[in-house]
Amino acid sequence: MTITRRKFMQTSAAVATLGAIAGAPSLAHAQGTFNYKVGTNVQASHSIYLRLTEAAEAIKKDTGGKVNIRIFPNGQLGSDTDMLGQVRSGGMDFLTVPGVVLANLVPMASLNSVGFIFPDYPSVWKAMDGNLGNYMRTHIAKTGLVVTDKIFDNGFRHITAQKPINVPADLAGMKIRVPVSPLLLSLFKSLGAASTPINFNELYSALQTKVVEGQENPLTLINNSKLYEVQKNCAMTGHTWDGYWMVANKRSMEALPAPLRAIVMKHLDAAAMAQRGDSEKLAVSLQTDLAAKGMVFNRPDPKPFRQALQQAKFYQEWKTKFGDEAWAQLEGAVGKLV
């Protein structure tokens, strides 16, 4: 049978398409080099991006140029939920994702965000680098994602408002913006506030026009979004702590030979450890900077808030939702809650 040039080109194109659909290795992989994409929602000035950039350079050097990682900051590759879908499908290889976002796929990823459980950073790292973190990573891995051993820091969340917040009664009936997170919405409802979910890009104007009277976020976001211009008081409640999980597409990781994979994971974990130090120092300096811009700080006693949550059956509700096994892991790390 005679094969024309046109027929040959059509057949070749069809084979290439089928190969791509079947997940055939890319030319870069076939040649022994791996070009990977990392998505993140943080800005290029954020310590997570800066430390990941250092890690990418170290990985390229230690693998002799065989693994090249490019980081896309500021949500360039899509929203958090879009990027989570991409890393699952293989559209991107790595993603840093906040626990409250990952919880939409893996509910256990927000176990660390239960209210008023961590008094300080040492208690956070003891739990997240210990049995609690291991338990959560096991659940993340069940989705088919690969997760690194060390989690990045997203900081403690604090409350800003037009008035000082010292005790739970100060929140009674207050319209407070809360992200679309079932756990955080439940937390502030249990404290008597009127939890109001608003997109973050609408938050400044909502505070300015008094659509809401307060909000809660880490100091980095309070500063970067200039919320100090429309909020006078900041209560250092530290009501929840959240981190950024580094997750990876399983096929992308399995394509790497074991020695290269070990190098990648080593440097990503080192980046997380360095970023934690950056974040803790920044939390201190930002308070000074924000005070200089006119924001007034106070540090409420967390005990009345925990008591209010216990009376509202908040901890009991979330024990039921997470399950006895998960709750045992949590209380093993932070002490009795129910």
**Residue 134 maps to a domain:** yes
What span, in angstroms and rounded, lies between the C-alpha atoms of 267 and 279? Answer: 18
CATH code (residue 134):
3.40.190.170
Asked whether residue 12 is assigned to any structural domain, the reply reads: no
Examine residue 18 and state whether it is found in any structural domain, yes or no. Answer: no
- Helix (H) or strand (E) holding 67, with range, is strand 67-72
17-21, 158-162, 244-248: lowest mean pLDDT where?
17-21
Give 95's strand partners: 39, 247
pLDDT tens track for 145-203 = 999 999 999 999 999 999 999 999 999 999 999 987 889 999 999 999 999 988 777 89
Average pLDDT over residues 30-34: 77
Distance CA 239, CA 321 (A): 20
Say which amino acid occupies 228.
Y
17 assigned to some structural domain? no
Residue 14 belongs to some domain of the structure: no
Q: Any idea which of 11-15, 257-261, 291-295, 327-331 has the lowest mean pLDDT?
A: 11-15
Nearest Cα residue to 203 out of 171, 242, 170, 230:
230
Q: How do residues 44-59 score in pLDDT, each as one tens digit?
A: 989 999 999 999 999 9
In a domain, 2, yes or no: no
> Does residue 122 form part of some domain?
yes
The owner of tokens 């200039």 is 226
Per the model's pLDDT, the better-predicted residue between 244 and 16 turns out to be 244
Number of domains in the chain: 1
User: Residues of the chain with pLDDT > 90: what percent?
Assistant: 80
Domain that holds residue 318: 28-334
216, 215, 194, 227: which is closest to 116 by C-alpha?
Answer: 216
pLDDT, tens digit (0-9, with 9 covering 90-100), for 124-160: 999 999 999 999 999 999 999 999 999 999 999 999 9
What distance in Å separates the CA atoms of residue 328 and residue 313, rounded to the nearest whole number? 17
Across 261-273, average pLDDT: 98
pLDDT at 31: 63
Sign of CA dihedral 204, 208, 211, 213: positive
Tell me which residue has tokens 């230690």: 62
Q: Residue 74 domain-assigned?
A: yes
CA distances from 242 to 6, 110, 233, 268 (A): 58, 8, 22, 18
Tell which residue, 126, 95, 98, has the closest CA to residue 221.
98
Residue 336 has pLDDT above 80, yes or no: yes
Number of helices (H), then strands (E), in the chain: 15, 10
Q: What is the pLDDT of residue 27?
A: 38
Decide if 91 contacts 248 (C-beta within 8 A).
no
Residue-level pLDDT at 19? 36
Contacts for 138 with CB less than 8 Å, ≥ 6 apart: none
24 has a pLDDT exceeding 70:
no
Tokens of 192: 């008597």
Reply yes or no on whether the pLDDT at 270 is more than 50: yes
